A and B are shown apart, each in its own frame.
Chain A
């Protein structure tokens, strides 16, 4: 029988090279991940400074416009037609103690009563844009302002994105964002204001007392079984708003001095709380501002 000759000579070098390659790749990968993490931390800080600088510019410009200073008047004078843009060139910070980056900024007339200020700053290749809208006249620029012109939303108002449970302990006003839920606890006694965007579901548990105001955008949903005698707060809607009450859609319209609800059949106690909003944004200077 013939035994095949097995030549292992030189194999150790192959093994050494293979192991070396594997280790080099391992070290290289680890180093590159670690360096990327380090670099990201440094970039984040540059990005933060870019944000602060951009915010500084838009805030300063909005104050000039709202305060109707000579600078502000000069900008507004150039914004005649919707879509007009005023570019602020060579934005520069004098006497600053740290590098604030390179900023380009512009002011755009979005609508005849809305100005948008945008500033974009670059710090160490990191760029951040901050935009601010200011609206002429009074009233909030939050989405609810479209149906309730002139309505002011207090700064202390709780902005709720998903769920708010109202108990007696809650004293602040509540701004419920679209499609969120507001529930009145059965022992609640609430005197505040609720601003409800479209799609907000307000559940009124039996026994809850309410002496405040609800501004309900069209599309707000109300659910209850029985209203407490002290559930006497008013519910404002725009003329023509459609609100869903206990699973039925009702259209609320102004009919002379009366409020018309169609179809018939809405809970009479609830119906007596409904009011048509008649406020309007007062003329005047540039008012409320909101970051985008």
Chain B
């Protein structure tokens, strides 16, 4: 009885040379690939969106560092007054006092910092 079914299916599906096994394996492969395609495109979209956001935020935060007026509440600014730039020439240590201005957009951790010397 079972042999009869398989023969019937083979005949039914074999009109273009398919066999049941071929159809199942082929279909499975295509399904996996379709899933890969969809998830791949979704991942790509997420990357592109995220990249665009990081780029936009980078431009916005850096313009705050350059002195632009900060109108975006998502960007926080802070000044640290006791900054020190230290360096060595030979074995002698030198220090320049100054302050730091930092601005950051916390959501994507996009932020910059700049040191300004106190020397007039």
- Chain B residues whose C-beta falls within 8 Å of the C-beta of A292 in the assembled complex: none
CB distance from A285 to the nearest CB of B (A): 13
- Chain A residues whose C-beta falls within 8 Å of the C-beta of B44 in the assembled complex: 30-31, 33-35
Main secondary structure of the interface of A (DSSP, over half): helix
Query: For the side of the interface on A, what is the size category?
Result: 35 or more
Interface 9-residue window, one of B1-9, B22-30, B67-75: B22-30
User: Which of A19, A59, A71, A95 is B30 in contact with, Cβ under 8 Å?
Assistant: A19
Q: CA separation between A20 and B19, bound complex, in Å?
A: 19
Nearest first, the 6 closest Cβ-Cβ pairs linking A and B are A8-B17, A27-B40, A16-B26, A38-B51, A34-B44, A56-B115
User: Which of B18, B19, B55, B112 is A49 in contact with, Cβ under 8 Å?
Assistant: B112
Contact bitstring A81-105, B, C-beta under 8 A = 1, else 0: 0000011111111111110100001
Q: CA separation between A19 and B26, bound complex, in Å?
A: 10
**CB of A23 closer than 8 Å to a CB of B:** yes
Instruction: Please report which residues of chain B, range 19-45, place their CB below 8 angstroms from some CB of chain A when the two chains form the complex.
Output: 19, 22-23, 25-27, 29-30, 32-34, 36-37, 40-41, 43-45
Q: CA separation between A75 and B86, bound complex, in Å?
A: 14
Given A31-B43, A42-B54, A97-B102, verify A11-B17 contact (CB < 8 Å). Answer: yes
Q: Is the CB of B115 within 8 A of A96?
A: yes
Given A63-B119, A89-B88, A98-B113, verify A20-B80 contact (CB < 8 Å). Answer: no
Q: Is the CB of A75 within 8 A of B89?
A: yes
Q: CA separation between A41 and B85, bound complex, in Å?
A: 29
User: Which of A44, A78, A95 is B55 in contact with, Cβ under 8 Å?
Assistant: A44
Q: Is the CB of A34 within 8 A of B43?
A: yes
- Chain A residues whose C-beta falls within 8 Å of the C-beta of B36 in the assembled complex: 23-24, 27
Q: Is the CB of A41 within 8 A of B54?
A: yes
Q: CA separation between A227 and B17, bound complex, in Å?
A: 94
- Chain B residues whose C-beta falls within 8 Å of the C-beta of A75 in the assembled complex: 89
**Supplied contacts A8-B17, A74-B94, A100-B113, 18 more A-B pairs, CB within 8 Å:** A7-B17, A13-B26, A20-B30, A27-B37, A33-B44, A34-B48, A37-B47, A40-B51, A41-B54, A60-B96, A61-B96, A63-B119, A88-B87, A90-B88, A94-B84, A97-B78, A97-B100, A98-B113
CB distance from B76 to the nearest CB of A (A): 11
Give chain A's interface residues, CB within 8 Å of chain B.
7-13, 15-17, 19-20, 23-24, 26-28, 30-31, 33-35, 37-42, 44-45, 48-49, 52-53, 55-57, 59-61, 63-64, 67, 69, 71, 74-75, 78, 86-98, 100, 105
Q: Is the CB of A96 within 8 A of B112?
A: no
Q: CA separation between A98 and B62, bound complex, in Å?
A: 14
- Chain B residues whose C-beta falls within 8 Å of the C-beta of A89 in the assembled complex: 87-89
Instruction: Report the nearest B residue to A72, measured CB to CB.
Output: B119
Instruction: Report the nearest A residue to B15, measured CB to CB.
Output: A8
Q: List 21 A-B contacts (CB under 8 A).
A: A8-B17, A9-B14, A9-B22, A12-B17, A20-B32, A23-B37, A24-B36, A34-B48, A38-B48, A41-B52, A41-B54, A41-B55, A42-B54, A45-B55, A55-B114, A56-B114, A57-B85, A95-B82, A95-B84, A96-B115, A100-B113
- Chain A residues whose C-beta falls within 8 Å of the C-beta of B78 in the assembled complex: 97
Given A31-B43, A98-B102, verify A78-B89 contact (CB < 8 Å). Answer: yes
- Chain A residues whose C-beta falls within 8 Å of the C-beta of B120 in the assembled complex: 63, 67
User: Which of A28, A35, A93, A97 is B47 in contact with, Cβ under 8 Å?
Assistant: A35
Q: Is the CB of B17 within 8 A of A63?
A: no
Instruction: Report the nearest B residue to A27, measured CB to CB.
Output: B40
Q: CA separation between A11 and B85, bound complex, in Å?
A: 71
Q: CA separation between A45 and B104, bound complex, in Å?
A: 12
Q: CA separation between A16 and B22, bound complex, in Å?
A: 9
CB distance from B68 to the nearest CB of A (A): 14
Q: Is the CB of B113 within 8 A of A49?
A: yes
Q: CA separation between A230 and B70, bound complex, in Å?
A: 48
